[in-house]
Amino acid sequence: MDNRVKKALIATVNKYAEVSAINVEGFEKELIASFELEVNFLDKAIAFDAVFDSYPKFEELREVFFDLLMVNFFSSDVQKLEDDYLEGDEWANIEEETIDRGTELLNLLLYIKECKDEELDPELGDFLKEFLLVEDDEFQDEFEIYEELISNQQLAESSVEEICNTAPTLNVSEEMKELFVPFMAFFLDTEGSAETSKELIQFSSNKSFDSATYTLITTINN
């Protein structure tokens, strides 16, 4: 299991449990075990889902953690496979089987990975224009999904309070509705300071999810 992914998983579970005032119980241990299984991705996904089925209090995190499972696959599991595995039929089948899984968070996590590889600091404009190519005519689906991020980039230079107060007034796409606040909070403070986490808990209308997802993103980034 990728070390940065493991740290992010542990930090996110504990932040969510802390803000929700619920007990982690065996959830964290069992989820890590599913990530570490030496099986193909689809079997790993089945084990992953079984853990969430057993701990319904953490259901809200299932799909963002599926993104993390994908990142772990790209960062760790794929290193043990053939060089052209991601161009092969088996991976194409996995993509088909999981097309409805995960969230837009995967794009941000892959962007952060690219920034690490190229020793760049993540920036909202760069993410939208250079990574998602939202200005390219061929990527209008991405433009529609991220339209409110594109139109409100100034929020990434404002405050957590303003981000949280503005989000409900926007016509955010279904894909980004839950993720708008943690995305913007990340580009406001990519380091993941305690102050930003505290303000998310103070001002967010979905305190547990937003603070936990912000923790996930910033832990991956650091």
165 backbone dihedrals φ, ψ, rounded to 5°? -75, -30
Cα–Cα distance for residue pair 71/219, rounded to 1 Å: 13
- Residue 173: per-residue pLDDT: 94
Tokens matching residue 5: 């992914």
Residue 77 vs residues 71, 81, 88: alpha-carbon distances, Å: 9, 7, 15
- Residue 141: per-residue pLDDT: 82
Q: Is residue 215 within 8 Å of residue 197, measured between CB atoms? A: yes
Running DSSP on this structure, what letter comes out for residue 59? G
Q: Residue 195's closest CA among 203, 184, 125?
A: 203
Q: Is the dihedral of CA 181, 184, 187, 193 positive or negative?
A: negative
Cα–Cα distance for residue pair 41/38, rounded to 1 Å: 9
Divide the 222 residues of the chain into consecutive groups of 10 and give the mean pLDDT of each group. 95 97 95 94 95 97 97 82 77 87 95 93 94 81 91 96 96 95 97 96 97 97 94
- Residue 203: per-residue pLDDT: 98
- Residue 84: per-residue pLDDT: 76
- Residue 88: per-residue pLDDT: 80
- Residue 94: per-residue pLDDT: 87
